[in-house]
Structure 1
Amino acid sequence: MWMLTLKKWRWIFFVVGQMILSLGIAMTIKGQRLGIGPWDVLHVGLYENIGLTIGSWSVITGLIIVLITAAFQKKLPKYGTWLNMLLLGSFIDLFNWLLPDVSTMTAQIFMFVFGVVIMAYGIGLYVSPNMGAGPRDSLMLLIVHKFNVSVKVVRTSIEVIVALLGWALGGPVGIGTVLIALLIGQFVHYAMPQCQRLLLRAAGEQSTEALL
């Protein structure tokens, strides 16, 4: 019987994960009265002040981060990092165009809450194949290794700085911004093993060592 190889399944999960993550981000942007994720606050702020699109700013900031981390590490990142940068921004713009604007508070809450859950599973799907960290995660890991600081401290510090910068540019900061910063990691903690098991089952593998 014809079956896809593990490598092909890994790429499928990686790309589909990018799409689902982007859908979740776009949903939180549509429910932005509650606030949005720290990096998205920055992207929206840049969009409102300079133009282009929110997805374009996601790509541009991702490219800047990739170049900085590559310069410090003296090596180029994996293909997956470049694809993450390009696909995420493109899909964010696509879903921002496809999803309707919502005005009532009930609809905004619905879009935000489900957007956060969808984001978590999108992260789980694209990270589980281990095809390369996204630009922002690469920056976090670089700082952790360079300065021997905990991941929690570095991630929180980066997101606070980015959110404040985005807020200064007029990006939507609210209770949702805090909730995303605090809770997304917890949701991903549960989503990641589920996505890994799904990938291994689809590829007919038995152990997560196959993903290394």
Structure 2
Amino acid sequence: MKRAYVLRWLFFTVGIMVLALGISLTIKGQRLGISPWDVLHVGLYQQIGLSVGTWAILLGIVIIGGTVLVTKKPPRIGAVLNMLLVGIFIDVFNWLIPEPSTMPGVIAVFLAGVIVMGYGVGIYVAANLGAGPRDTVMMMIVEKTGWSISKVRRGIELVVLAIGWGLGGPIGVGTIITALFVGSIVNLSLPQCTLLLQRLIDGNGASLTRHRHHPSENAKSL
């Protein structure tokens, strides 16, 4: 039990770091455009100041507070840590990673960011310790309305994108790329990471055969 607990939190933490690295890479390649939520974060940063990571945290606090008021349930610790750690690591990686000076560099950094983001989500979600605040509110709306996840997700991202664009956030072909491909990468990475975590928890390869034809149910919702 202790081994499983430690491994799940390790996967969660590493996944959050990888996710934040991917976000920072796409921000460095923002001449192509970035994901809807990051358009909003960057727009707020450009208009008001603070930092991109700080705005990710502040909006997360607002979202978590709203979901608590609606559901009357306290947030899972994973959701709170997700909110805090993603914002912190975004700022750290934004500081560490240099700006690409050429368009080929921008394209390479951005595409690497999209792939890294997809795997970061797969790693942290495999730990099953709680989704981030944005995914939490998405699921709350799905439960309240009965609408499909894809419909709710697109609706939320369109609203966020419109606000971010109004604030001057960068929109471009990269915004479309993230919308189309990050989810597809997660559909690949999540079963892989779930299987790897289970094999590490078991301490042997027994789960490989057991799960070979039964990928994680979590992948179906993404």
Give the CA deviation at 1:10. Answer: 0.1
Q: Which residue of 2 aligns with 1:121?
A: 119
Task: Decide whether the 8 Å contact of 1:27 with 1:111 is kept in 2.
Answer: yes
Matched with 2:154 is 156
Offset at 1:5? 0.3
Counterpart check, 1:51 vs 2:27: no
Which moved further from structure 2: 174-183 or 90-99? 174-183
Shift of 1:74: 0.2
Matches of 2:201 and 2:149 in 1, distance apart?
31
Moved more, 85-94 or 200-209: 200-209
Which residue is 2:133 aligned to? 135
Instruction: List gaps (5 residues or longer) in structure 2.
Output: none
The AA in structure 2 aligned to 1:79 is I
Check whether the contact 1:159–1:181 (CA below 8 A) recurs between aligned residues: no
Q: Which runs of 4+ in 1 moved over 2 A?
A: 205-209
1:12 matches 2:16: no
Give the C-alpha shift of residue 103 in structure 1. 2.3
CA–CA distance in structure 2, aligned partners of residues 150 and 39 of structure 1 = 20
> Counterparts of 2:149 and 2:111 in 1: how far apart (Å)?
25
Residues 152-181 of structure 1 deviation map (CA, whole Å, 9 limit, x = unaligned): 000011111111110110000001101111
Give the alignment of 1:164-183 within 5 angstroms: 164-183=162-181
Residue identity matched to 1:111: V
Larger CA deviation: 38-47 vs 196-205: 196-205
Q: With the length of structure 2 as denominator, give the TM-score of the two structures.
A: 0.91
Correspondence for 1:67: 65
Instruction: Provide the identity percentage.
Output: 51
Question: Separation in 1 of the partners of 2:30 and 2:178?
Answer: 12
Instruction: State the shift of 1:202 in Å.
Output: 1.6
Letter in 1 for 2:106: Q
In the alignment, the residues of structure 2 paired with residue 202 and residue 114 of structure 1 have an alpha-carbon distance, to the nearest angstrom, of 27
SS in 2 for 1:102: coil
Instruction: Report the CA distance between 1:123 and its aligned residue.
Output: 0.2
Contact 1:4 1:203 in 2 (8 A): no
SS at match of 1:39: helix
Gaps spanning 5+ residues in structure 1: where?
none
Q: Equivalents in 2 of 1:139, 1:150: separation in Å? A: 14
Q: For residue 21 of structure 1, what is the aligned residue in structure 2?
A: 19
Counterpart of 1:191, as a letter, is S
Could you tell me which residue of structure 2 aligns to residue 184 of structure 1? 182
SS state of the match for residue 118, structure 1?
helix
What is the TM-score of this pair, normalised by structure 1? 0.95
Q: Residue 204 of structure 1: CA displacement?
A: 1.7
